[in-house]
């Protein structure tokens, strides 16, 4: 027989375990790129040999033009997930990216963690960035990537209402903090090759800006993009996300 104290302790542990599982489950559902629990993002098709390069947190006056040069040198197009606040400051650069044949998507106005935002805040972040970028481009934007990949069901619902496809990723590494382009490429290549062995295409993420610091050094990310394209150019086709709609 358990004493009342022991019964209380075990009951408390049970509640703590359930609460722990609930917190862990929510974190998985809202943050894990492969989770489909809160909604279905655009996924890379079962098609070997295709890569969609994507760049987040720009446009950036220093690094985006260098990235555009590298992509042009390889004759490769990519998808840019822009912050509305940065795009509004640099409309010419936004138009230059689109004119080079790249696809432009949204990454909110100010980069909040949308899993922690009210529905009104989510709508404001998406609408404000969407309006700003569409006014600059004069065309409709189709893709939206939530910052940190953080989402909850309202993110999918509001994005869908606005005609936006939610996009996460298959291959990411910490290029925002790693100063070594070769190491960035090695980490991404391991993931890309692993996905390729399963016969799938892949969405790859690098960063051409810094959401906290516009002066953040993105030279390693730009160099990594250059090296990554050089590594896969002979065996893979680089596509923008429009190809997978």
50 binds Zn ion (CB under 5 A): no
The number of beta carbons lying within 10 Å of the beta carbon of residue 144 is 28
Q: Measured from the CB atom, is 82 or 239 closer to Zn ion?
A: 82
Least Å from the CB of residue 207 to Zn ion: 7
The residue sitting closest to Zn ion, measured at its beta carbon, is: 56
Contact 238, 82 (CB under 8 A): no
56 is a catalytic site residue: yes
- Site size for Zn ion (CB under 5 A): 4
Active-site residue, from 207, 211, 226, 236 = 207
Q: In residues, how long is the chain?
A: 245
Tokens of 86: 């940065």
In whole angstroms, how far apart are CA 93 and each of 15, 50, 71, 137? 53, 27, 15, 11
Least Å from the CB of residue 1 to Zn ion: 56
Among left, alpha and beta (phi > 0; psi -120 to 50; other), residue 222 is alpha
57 binds Zn ion (CB under 5 A): yes
The single residue among 56, 175, 208, 226 that binds Zn ion, judged by CB under 5 A, is 56
178 is a catalytic site residue: no
Q: Could you list the active site residues?
A: 56, 207
Point out which residues bind Zn ion (CB under 5 A): 56-57, 147, 211
């Amino acid at each position: 027989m358990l004493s009342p104290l022991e019964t209380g302790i075990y009951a408390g542990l049970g509640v703590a375990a359930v609460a722990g599982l609930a917190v862990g489950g929510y974190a998985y559902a809202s943050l894990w790129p492969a989770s489909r629990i809160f909604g279905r993002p655009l996924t890379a098709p079962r098609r070997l040999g295709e890569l969609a390069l994507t760049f987040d947190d720009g446009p950036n006056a220093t690094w985006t033009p260098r990235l555009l040069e590298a992509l042009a040198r390889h004759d490769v197009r990519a998808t840019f997930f822009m912050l509305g606040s940065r795009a509004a400051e640099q409309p010419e650069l936004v138009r230059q990216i689109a004119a080079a044949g790249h696809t432009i998507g949204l990454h909110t106005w100010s980069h909040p963690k949308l899993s922690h935002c009210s529905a009104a805040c989510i709508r404001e972040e998406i609408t404000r960035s969407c309006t700003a970028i569409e006014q600059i481009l004069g065309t409709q934007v189709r893709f939206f990537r939530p910052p940190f990949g953080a989402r909850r069901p309202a993110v999918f619902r509001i994005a869908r209402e606005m005609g936006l496809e939610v996009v996460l990723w298959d291959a990411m590494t910490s290029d925002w903090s790693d100063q070594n382009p070769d190491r960035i490429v090695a980490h991404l290549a391991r993931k890309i090759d692993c996905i390729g062995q399963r016969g799938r295409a892949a969405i790859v993420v690098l960063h051409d800006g810094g959401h906290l610091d516009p002066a953040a050094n993105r030279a390693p990310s730009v160099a990594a993009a250059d090296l990554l394209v050089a590594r896969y150019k002979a065996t893979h086709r680089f596509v923008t996300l429009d190809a997978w709609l």
